[in-house]
Amino acid sequence: MAATETQLMLSVGLIEKDVNGDTLWVWCYPSVSSDLRQVLLSKCCLTQDSRDFHTFVFGQFCRTWFYISTVEVQEPTALNKVTHFSIVVTAKDFNPEKYAALSRILCRMYIKHGSPVKMMEAYVTVLTKGICQSDENGSFLIKDYDIRKAFLAGSVKDVVSQFGLETIILYTALMLKKRIVVHHPRIEALLEFTRVLPTLTWHRKDWSILHPYVHLTDTELEDLKKCPGYVAGFVDPEVSNRSDLFDVYVNLPDSVITVSQSAKGMFKEKAVCF
Amino acid sequence: MEEVDKILIHALKQVGTEVSEETGSVRQFSSELIVEAVVRCVRVIDPGLGGALPTSLPPGMSARFRVGMSLAQACQDIGYKGEIGYQTFLYSNEPEIRSLLMFLVEKLPRESAEASDQPQGKSAVMQRAIAAAIRAQLSVPWLPPNCRLPLHSQTQSPGALHSFHVQRLSLAHCSPGKKPLKEVKDYLRDILPPVTAQPSHHASVVASILEQHTAELSAAQEWDSEWNSQGLLSRLKPQEYRSRKLTRLRKRIEEQLRSAALPSPESASGGPRPTGDLSELLQTEPSTSIPFVHQSDSDVQLRQQEEQLSLQEQQLCSEVDQLTADMKHMIVTHAQVLDELKQRELGNSEKEEKMQVKKKTIDLLPDSDDNLQKLKALVEASAKRVVHLASQWEKHRAPLIDEHRRLKEICSRQDLESSQKLSEIKSVHDKIRVSTEEAKKKEETYKQLVTELENLPQDASRSAYTQRILEIVSNIKKQKEEITKILSDTKDLQKEINSLTGKLDRTFAVTDELVFKDAKKDESVRKSYKYLAALHENCNQLIQTIEYTGTILREIRDLEEQIETENGSKTVANLERILSDYKAIRQENSALAAKVREG
């Protein structure tokens, strides 16, 4: 199984922020299309004006999962003129823990050696052999990170305790493959909550409907609209005005679920999709 | 003394005294002139006192005497502290007259205080003129139209008012750097009427010119302020800045128009509904248009038709509902099918990939171990190659990134410097503006002061007086120095004299004793003693005579000074006049007494 699983990794990229305040996409292997590159740059917290620093974020775009870890460079280091950098790993599968661990190893290697070559060696070894040495004692093994563990990592009990009886609305929407939009100003809370929702339809084991980190840009929204039903997470509060994007709107900080006008009939619908 | 007299004469002329041009000093004033001058001054200083006094001396002696007394009394009332009486005016005395006139001239009220308080400046002068004119107009009482004199027609009749109509004027605009075409020049020179002839109504000339001018002025000021605040910051040339602003404004206008026009498509979608009702209405129309002649028959027919139509309507409605329900169902199934299709396609592609891989593995399966080794070696080799390529790329990439960062740094530094320079430019602009304003103000005040200077009376030149005063002060200083020197010399001399006298006395005492001692014994010594005594006595007398001579010389000098002052007071002439006046008074008295005795 290791062979097929390693084919899931698509690319690794490097974004640096330097002393001039510029954030640049400096390196990637093997290659990343310019659309995806734009999206990844916008997701990386280094390009955003706010000073929030998110260590690890992930999301989906064009059926590709991306995982971004950001590190602040501390002195002494082999890197000069770099204040922060992010490592982006794109893959076909959803497994945040695995890629978070991998990115951590790659980050440490980059800081230590100051050149992406070493980092690439590690990446290639993971790609070919499924294992790589890490700086901590022990090594990184792909088979330690089973995908089912990723599916189960979130806690459904928390969702139910937060929303109580209204969880039925979410369950119905998911069963009927409706569009759910979740909003929370903090990305970490958003990621944590949205990754749990597909667990409610466990029989499908389909996490491709999950788009946990979306911005209100045309490219991303177009990609989103291609899916008939999805769970999308937005940090931007403006999304509450975009009633064309959702059937169910979840305001996470206030714990309020709103069903849009056009979707109020879904409770009466007789067709149920499996 | 001449300067003082000149000042006095000038001041007296200003008061109104007729002083002829030849009189250069107070000494030449006659009694009549003195009286006239003093009376006019008193009138200016205190109109109540001066009103009763005549400006000329009457012919009669006693009258003259009375006038002199009253004048002296008036001067004392004003506050003159010196000795004054009728004799000061009738038998005048130069120093007394001078001091009296100086006192009176100083007492004259200053008229210039009022004017110097107000601010100078052309606009202030004009405003004061306007205020004075309005005050004069307001002070004229309002009269009904019939009683108005032509004097009032300008200010009180409404004919003078015009409403503020503005008309557009064509002016010749020349943009800097562009030469106007020849045709334009000809047009401007020959055909375009002057500004005063352009408006249709003569009364709107002023209004149009004012409006045009204020518009241009405010536009220029706005452009100045905008350029200084935003234009410089944008670091563009003025034309570029203007064109950019124009495009920006146009875009905004387009957006506004578009957003305003948007609501109409939404209303268009509501269109079909009313037309549906309209068609129904039109269908029911014929039933109402049937002529009213066959009313009863047509009523029954109408009702029948109505019923039929309502039945049809109901049928159609139910059909429509069914169709909509069908449609909804179809849409849902359609969506489901599409979804399934997409998923199947994806699954297909994945399965195809897997199949390819499996096919390759099956092909390699027969010689599995070998092939496995080969594959592993291949993989390792390609991994190494990739890593090698990556390191080569890194060699290229790292310097490029460094270069990029370095250039960015330089760029930001230059930005900083240029913004600093911009702020400097702004401050220099401000300074320029402030200094031009100050220069303008100073030029104005200079021009105004020059005109004032020209208008000032040229008789009394202050600079000559100040020069003289400064000369006098320096002279006095020199004299003071000399006096102190002389005083110190005198002191030294006196000290010397004292010491010499003392020495002399002591020497004489000693010699006297010595000689007297020997004089008892020797005859020659007795004689020499007698000579010594005589010498001493004579010398003493000599010294006394010298001192006496000195005292007498001092007395002579004092007496000479007194003689001069007495000569100046022309006492002899006055005495003669007094005698003649006395004789005249006696004659008048005797005449009056004779009259009294007769009548």
The 10s digit of each residue's pLDDT in B87-112 is: 888 777 778 888 888 888 888 876 54
In chain A, whose CA is at the least distance from the CA of B400?
Answer: A26
pLDDT per residue as tens digits for the range A186-244: 888 899 999 889 988 888 888 888 999 988 888 889 888 888 889 999 998 888 888 88
Instruction: Give the per-residue pLDDT at B577.
Output: 85
Confidence at A1, pLDDT banded by 50, 70, 90: very low
Q: Give yes or no for A272 touching B (CB within 8 A).
A: no
Provide the pLDDT for residue B534.
Answer: 93
Greater model confidence, B482 or B512: B482
Count of CB pairs separated by less than 8 Å, A with B:
52
A180: three-class secondary structure by DSSP: strand
Determine which helix (DSSP H) or strand (DSSP E) holds B151, and give its type and residue range. helix B150-156
Q: Does A177 touch chain B (CB under 8 A)?
A: yes
pLDDT score of B239? 85
Give chain B's mean pLDDT.
83
Place of tokens 């998911």: A174
CB contact under 8 A, B386 and A4: no
The most confident of the ranges A174-183, B308-317, B341-350 is: B308-317
**CB < 8 Å to A29, chain B:** 386, 390
Give ∠ CA B79-B61-B574 in degrees, rounded to 5.
Answer: 75
Contact B207, B165 (CB under 8 A): yes
What confidence tier does A77 reach under pLDDT thresholds 50, 70, 90?
Answer: confident
Average pLDDT score over residue span B171-200: 75
Percent of chain A scoring above 70 in pLDDT: 92
> Given an 8 Å threshold on Cβ–Cβ distance, is B387 in contact with A117?
yes
The model's pLDDT over B389-411, given as tens digits with 9 standing for 90+, comes to 988 988 998 899 889 989 999 99
Q: Picking from A156-160, A210-214, B44-48, which range would have the lowest pLDDT averaged per residue?
A: B44-48
Contact in structure between A23 and A46 (CB atoms under 8 Å):
yes
> What band does A88 get if pLDDT is binned at 50, 70 and 90?
very high
Instruction: Please tell me the least confidently modeled range out of A222-236, B44-58, B479-493.
Output: B44-58
Q: Does A20 touch chain B (CB under 8 A)?
A: yes
| pLDDT average, residue stretch B282-308 | 70
Query: For residue B512, with 0-12 CB atoms within 10 Å meaning exposed, 13-18 middle and 19 or more buried, which class applies?
Result: middle
Structure tokens at B165: 């109509």
Query: Per mean pLDDT, which range of A261-270, B45-54, B308-317, B560-569 is the poorest?
Result: A261-270
* pLDDT of B307: 93
Section B320-347 average pLDDT:
92
Give pLDDT tens digits for A56-73.
999 998 888 999 999 888
Q: What's residue B188's pLDDT?
A: 79
Please list, in sequence order, all residues whose beta carbon lies within 8 angstroms of the beta carbon of residue B424, skipping any fewer than 6 positions away.
Answer: none
Nearest to A61 by CA among A259, A230, A256: A230
Q: Which segment of B50-54, B478-482, B564-568 scores lowest on mean pLDDT?
A: B50-54
pLDDT computed for residue B559 by the predictor: 96
* pLDDT over 50 (residue B267): no
- Among B212, B209, B185, B186, CA closest to B197: B209
3 state SS of B304: helix
pLDDT at B271 over 50: no
How far apart are the C-alpha atoms of A217 and A210, rounded to whole Å? 18
Our measurement of the distance from residue B284's CA atom to the centroid of its chain's CA atoms, rounded to an integer in Å, reads 86
CB B397 within 8 A of CB A14: no
For the ranges A216-220, B305-309, B460-464, B512-516, the lowest mean pLDDT is seen at: B460-464
Cβ(A44)–Cβ(A23) under 8 Å? yes
Residue A48 exposed, middle or buried by CB count within 10 Å (0-12, 13-18, 19+): middle
Mutate to test the interface with A, among B342, B360, B391 (most CBs of A within 10 A): B391
Closest approach of B278 to chain A, Cα-based (Å): 29
Would the CB atoms of B386 and A120 count as touching at under 8 Å? yes
Beta bridge partners of A182: A233, A250
In terms of pLDDT, which residue wins out, A132 or A257?
A257
CB-CB under 8 Å, A115 with B398: yes
pLDDT digits (tens, 9 = 90+) for B526-550: 888 889 889 999 999 999 999 999 9
Q: How confident is the model at residue A10 (pLDDT cuts 50, 70, 90)?
A: confident
Confirm or reject contact between A179 and chain B (CB < 8 A).
Answer: no
Is residue B162 predicted with pLDDT exceeding 80?
A: no
Q: For residue B55, what are the contacts with CB-CB under 8 A and spacing of at least 6?
A: B35, B36, B39, B40
* In the predicted structure, residue B595 carries a pLDDT above the cut 90: yes
Q: What is the pLDDT of residue B246?
A: 92
ipTM above 0.85, yes or no: no
- Coil, strand or helix at A16: strand
Q: Residue B554 has what pLDDT?
A: 95
In which band, very low, low, confident or very high, does the pLDDT at A116 lie, cut at 50, 70 and 90? confident
Integer Rg of chain A from CA? 20
pLDDT tens digits, residue range B350-371?
A: 899 999 988 988 887 888 788 8
The strand pairing partners of A161, in sequence order, are none
Asked if A60 and A210 count as a contact pair (C-beta separation under 8 A), the reply is yes
H and E: helices and strands count for chain A? 9, 12
pLDDT at B158: 61
Looking at per-residue pLDDT, the higher value among A32 and B5 belongs to A32
Interchain CB distance below 8 Å, A271 and B332: yes
B141 SS3 class? coil
Neighbours of A246 (CB within 10 A): 25
CB contact under 8 A, B386 and A124: yes
**Which residues have CB under 8 Å from B140's CB, separation 6+?**
B151, B152, B155, B156
For the ranges A101-115, B114-128, B241-255, the one whose mean pLDDT is highest:
B241-255
pLDDT at A125: 85
pLDDT over 90 (residue B578): no
A115-119, A263-267, B119-123, B443-447: range with lowest mean pLDDT = B119-123
What angle is formed at CA A150 by the lines to CA A147 and CA A156, rounded to 5 degrees?
135
Which region among A169-183, B186-200, B288-302 has the lowest average model confidence (pLDDT)? B288-302
Among the ranges given (A147-151, A248-252, B242-246), the one the predictor scored with the smallest mean pLDDT = A147-151
Please give the pLDDT value at position B284.
Answer: 54
The pLDDT value recorded for residue A225 is 87
**CA angle in degrees (0–180, nearest 5) for A104-A107-A109:** 110
Q: Does A27 touch chain B (CB under 8 A)?
A: yes
Question: Which residues 198-227 of A are in CB contact (within 8 Å) with B?
Answer: none
Any B CB within 8 A of A262 CB: no
Cα Rg for chain B, rounded, in angstroms? 62
Residues of B within an 8 Å Cβ radius of A: 329, 332-333, 335-336, 338-339, 354, 357, 379-380, 383, 386-387, 390-391, 394, 397-398, 401-402, 404-405, 408-409, 412
List of chain B residues whose C-beta atoms are within 8 Å of the C-beta of residue A81: 402, 405
Which DSSP symbol is given to A65? E
Can you tell me the distance from the alpha carbon of B376 to that of B356, in angstroms, rounded to the nearest whole number?
Answer: 19
Q: Which tens digits make up the pLDDT trace of B342-353? A: 889 989 998 999
Residues of chain A with Cβ-Cβ distance to B336 below 8 Å are 271, 273
Euclidean distance between CA atoms A197 and A171, whole angstroms: 8
A52 and chain B: CB distance < 8 Å anywhere? no
Q: Nearest by CB to B405, which of A18, A27, A115?
A: A18
With an 8 Å Cβ cutoff, is A121 touching chain B?
Answer: yes
Burial (Cβ within 10 Å: 0-12, 13-18, ≥19) of residue A103: buried
Facing A20 at nearest CB: one of B332, B354, B408: B408
Instruction: Please tell me what DSSP assigns to residue A67.
Output: E
pLDDT over 80 at A137, yes or no: no
Distant-in-sequence, close-in-space partners of B241: CB < 8 Å, separation ≥ 6: B227, B231, B234
Predicted confidence (pLDDT) at residue B113 exceeds the cutoff of 80: no
What is the SS3 assignment for A255? coil
Q: Are A68 and A187 in contact (CB under 8 A)?
A: no
If we measure between CA atoms, which residue out of A138, A65, A122, A71 comes closest to residue A99? Answer: A65
Q: Is A22 on the interface with B (CB under 8 A)?
A: yes
Q: Is the pLDDT of residue B282 over 70?
A: no
Cβ A48 vs Cβ A64: under 8 Å: no
Q: Does A62 touch chain B (CB under 8 A)?
A: no
Closest-CA residue in chain B for A124?
B383
Residue B274 pLDDT > 50: no
Which one is predicted more confidently, B344 or A274? B344
Residue of A65, A86, A82 whose CA lies nearest to A11: A65
Which stretches of chain A are assigned E, i.e. beta strand? Answer: 9-18, 23-29, 56-61, 64-72, 82-91, 131-133, 139-141, 179-183, 210-214, 230-234, 248-251, 256-259
The whole-model pTM stands at 0.52
Residue A154 Ramachandran class (φ > 0 left, ψ -120 to 50 alpha, else beta): beta
In a 3-state reduction of DSSP, which class is residue B199?
Answer: coil
Task: Give the model's pLDDT for residue B283.
Answer: 60
User: Cα separation of A86 and A69, whole Å?
Assistant: 5
